[in-house]
Amino acid sequence: MSLVHDTLRTTASTRSDDLLPPDARLAVGVGYAALTCDGVPVFEAECFALEDVWTVRDAEQLAAREPARDWRIHLVALRDERHYRRSADGRWVLYERGYGLS
């Protein structure tokens, strides 16, 4: 293996995505990205959209107004699928992971 392969493998295996950082964008390129409130879409990113999309910070500003509701972020890409739920302290916690659209 090359140094590049070893570095990529180590980075991917040690990266924790249990929490979604505030600057993460609600976009996946090809796939589906959305913010929902009680199961109803509030924001959906257009397919291939990577600019002018919401961030987790934008979602948190909206969710903080009604914290008792069930807020979730869904990121479904070609080979990766992650679903986050807002916790009471304003963090977005991974609750489900899948294989995406593959």
* Closest alpha carbon to 25 in 77, 69, 65: 77
pTM to 2 decimals?
A: 0.82
Q: What six digits make up the tokens of 13? A: 């295996």
- Residue 5 pLDDT exceeds 80: no
Q: Which are the contacts of 26, defined by CB distance < 8 A and separation ≥ 6?
A: 33, 34, 35, 43, 45, 53, 54, 55, 56, 58, 59, 73, 75
Q: What does the pLDDT look like over 13-67, one tens digit per residue?
A: 445 789 999 999 999 988 999 999 999 999 998 777 777 789 999 999 999 999 9
